[in-house]
Structure 1
Amino acid sequence: MAERLKPEDRAAGLQELPNWHLVPGREAISRSFKFKDFQEAFAFMTHVAFAAEKMNHHPEWSNVYRTVDIVLATHDVGGLSQLDMELARKIDVISGGFN
């Protein structure tokens, strides 16, 4: 089972993920992605969905036209875990294939 990150581990993890930010009022991280159009945004979401399913760790997200907003938190631990940091890194790699 995942464990909640200690504040110093959370800070270290975020240093490795400069485009991700803490969500105000909650222990979660978020990032917004913009693509050239809806089709590209949806393709990105499909790739992320496969990665998340393999990890059995699923994002909170929304999509409006070419923008995808993602929030990561581990609900079982009531905050951030190493799973969130790992999925954020995978999402960053996936997004690089669309730029």
Structure 2
Amino acid sequence: MSRILEPEEVSSQLAEHQHWTVDDALTGQFDFEGFDGSIRFVNAIADEAQQMDHHPDIDIRFNKVTLTVTSHDAGGLTQLDIELAKRADQIFEGF
């Protein structure tokens, strides 16, 4: 099982990632020009999540996608959550 990160570790690693807020989970909000962009982003995230074997909760509201990431099995935030958040940001930059 992965180690749960301290709040300071999470904050410092996501300092340059403006899409994310930190609470009991990481929540990322991404805005697109339309529904098509939202769906293409979600499909790209789904592919990445499958490769990582780490799956976010995904909420699609027309042109807004919200990702919620946590390590349920560890009971908190782990390095895997940070990595998925960073990969989501990289994917978003491609849009």
One fold, TM greater than 0.5?
yes
CA distance in 2, matches of 1:76, 1:55: 15
Alignment map for 1:27-38 (pairs within 5 Å):
27-38=24-35
Work out the percentage of aligned pairs sharing the same amino acid.
36
In structure 1, what residue type is equivalent to 2:2? A
Task: Show the counterpart of 2:66.
Answer: 69
Of 79, 82, 87, 2:79 maps to: 82
User: Normalized against structure 2, the TM-score is what?
Assistant: 0.91
Q: What is the number of residues matched between the two proteins?
A: 95
Task: Show the counterpart of 1:18.
Answer: 18
Task: Show the counterpart of 1:51.
Answer: 48
> Where do 4+ consecutive residues of structure 1 move more than 4 Å?
none
Task: Show the counterpart of 1:4.
Answer: 4
CA distance in 2, matches of 1:44, 1:14: 20
Tell me, which stretches of 5 or more residues in structure 2 are unaligned? none
Tell me, which stretches of 5 or more residues in structure 1 are unaligned? none
